[in-house]
Amino acid sequence: MPDKRPADATVTNPVIPGFHPDPSVCRVGDDYYLVCSSFEYFPGIPVFHSRDLVHWTRIGNALDRPGQLRLTGSPSSGGIYAPTLRHHDGRFWLIVTNVADGEGNMLFTATDPAGPWSDPVYLPGVEGIDPDLAWDEDGTCWVTVAGISQVRIDPYTGETFGPPRKLWSGTPGALAPEAPHLYRIGDHWYLLIAEGGTERGHGVSIARGPAPYGPFEPCPANPVLTHRSSDRPVQNTGHADLVQGPDGSWWMVLLGVRPRGGTPGWHVLGRETFLAPVTWVDGWPVVGEVSPDPAAPPWPLVPGPVEAGRDDFDLGELRPYWISVRDRPEELCTTEERAGCLTLRARGDGLDEPNVVFVGRRQQHLACRVRTRIDPAEGRGGLAVRLDEEHHYEIEVSQGEVRVLGRVGPLRTVVGSRPVPAGPVVLGVRVSGTPVRDARTGPDTLTFGVEEADGTFTALGALDGRYLSTEVAGGFTGRVIGMYAASGTVHFDWFDYEPLAP
């Protein structure tokens, strides 16, 4: 059937918006699978499926059992770093670093990427983050890590053979050579890395050699991708992985950010997954433009199911897009206690605590409206926008009062409040772009309030979004919007996430 798209058709980049960094992709037949870092959130490592590299559907989380993922004691922006996903010998392989104490590098396998995934095979002899997994022609398995060094392993037992071997480490003097990926393409082995740090200096460089262990010669055009020192709308481009499209052409998935506001520019959604075309010239990859609206690829597009914005909590378990901070004990979070409700029981004292009982989803749009209907009963809880324990805004209700609170570093304040009748109440937050007035203008404004019985929205406080950005808070994550319990038991009847025009 002929493609009826106009010749100038475009698609939307990022292809996976919101806090989805460090993408790794593999192709199996006509199907593509992709994973991302998840840091301190549980369940860990979201898994996506696509048929066209443009439309991605979340099919699960690889690490969804406490026996697979221990994050207790992990700081925010600790936990799960930079997985690599590969398919070899009829099986999916996933290697990742858990930087929580005593965990280190781990290897998981599955016959179906939607799960279940195995318990971890620990790799105590593999030191370093961002592990890559590759097999050579005789079946030898190699792990390459940030630094850049490499060691041979038995992927079934985790045993290592010999000391780590230093490989090529990128541009001399460049910061943080990391995110290595090895590929056999044509007559060469290619070593793709990120360098320059994951901030504005981020970039992608590549080298090639005759074997997976080198020796490697660098591409004369390195870095093959960077947006440093530019005014392009996508910044921090790096941490890439290569894959072939349905027509045999080459493509790159990578992370990037979309800064907004004045100077220095604040990105609030975290590092997102972008797609870029790749051509080959003289045996080296040439990366095309990473833009918000690139030309559509030349093959038919295959949109998948759209993730619902509203959840009425009518299933026996939470949908895979819901994430919690470090763990999610069943006795503290359930959809089975009250029909059609999510019930949360508090542990700790709210969002300032590392063990907060919180269920949220990634903010994936530059502008959005989020609402939830909460019955606080005898407890205290509400709706929060979280970056970490020291950077979060929330609207909460207890004992007939609604309050809007802001936590920025050591400061915590009540922004607004009002009485409400006993019983359920609809809480909301609207995230909207802020017109740039001068160099100090922040990226967006978060307006918190209460929805009245007639559907009108009463705002109780508006807060500058820059303080919930990586440029202010530091770290590697992005905003997560969700529900929490700060004391007692609270019930949520529904949650609604609605994208708005930016």
Q: Are residues 104 and 145 in the same domain?
A: yes
Q: Annotated catalytic residue: which of 130, 178, 394, 396?
A: 178
Confirm whether 353 is a catalytic residue: no
CA distance 73 to 40: 10
CATH number of 405's domain:
2.60.120.200
Q: Does a structural domain hold residue 158?
A: yes
Bridge partners, 25 (sequence order): 34
Say if residues 107 and 123 touch (Cβ distance below 8 Å). Answer: yes
pLDDT at 37: 98
As a whole number of angstroms, the distance between CA 467 and CA 271 comes to 17
Are 314 and 253 in a shared domain?
no
pLDDT by position in tens, the chain (length 502) = 445 677 679 999 999 999 999 999 999 999 999 999 999 999 999 999 999 999 999 999 999 999 999 998 899 999 999 999 999 999 999 999 999 877 999 999 999 999 999 999 999 999 999 999 999 999 999 999 999 999 999 999 999 999 999 999 999 999 999 999 999 999 999 999 999 999 999 999 999 999 999 999 999 999 999 999 999 999 999 999 999 999 999 999 999 999 999 999 999 999 999 999 999 999 999 999 999 999 999 999 999 999 999 999 999 999 999 999 999 999 999 999 999 999 999 998 999 999 999 999 999 999 999 999 999 999 999 999 999 999 999 999 999 999 999 999 999 999 999 999 999 999 999 999 999 999 999 999 999 999 999 999 999 999 999 999 999 999 999 999 999 999 999 999 999 999 999 8
Alpha-carbon distance 94 to 293, whole Å? 31
Q: Is 264 helix (H, G, I), strand (E, B) or coil?
A: coil
Same-domain check for residues 278 and 346: no
* Contact in structure between 179 and 240 (CB atoms under 8 Å): yes
Are residues 238 and 201 part of one domain?
yes
According to the model, what pLDDT value does residue 3 have?
Answer: 53
Q: Which residue among 22, 64, 130, 132 is the active-site one?
A: 22
pLDDT mean across residues, the chain: 96
Quote the pLDDT of residue 6. Answer: 73
Q: What's residue 4's pLDDT?
A: 64
Same domain, 249 and 360: no
pLDDT at residue 10, as a whole number? 94
68: containing domain = 23-287
Residue 488 falls within a domain, yes or no? Answer: yes
Tell whether 457 and 353 lie within a shared domain: yes
pLDDT for the residue numbered 7: 66
DSSP letter for each residue of 364-378? -SSSEEEEEEEE-TT
Residues 190 and 329 in one domain: no
**What pLDDT shows up at residue 101?**
78
Domain assignment present for residue 293? The answer is no
DSSP H or E stretch at residue 89: none
Residue 204: CA atoms inside 13 Å, Cβ hemisphere, count? Answer: 30
What are the structure tokens assigned to 63, written together?
A: 């690490």
Active site residue 217: no
**First-to-last CA distance in the chain?**
36
pTM, 2 dp: 0.97
At residue 349, what are phi and psi to the nearest 5 degrees?
Answer: -135, 45
User: Does residue 351 sit in the same domain as residue 385?
Assistant: yes
51 and 121 assigned to the same domain: yes
Q: Tell me whether residue 17 is in a domain.
A: no
How is 60-87 classified by DSSP, letter by letter? EEEE-STTT---TTPPTT-SEEEEEEEE
Could you tell me if 278 and 322 lie in one domain?
A: no
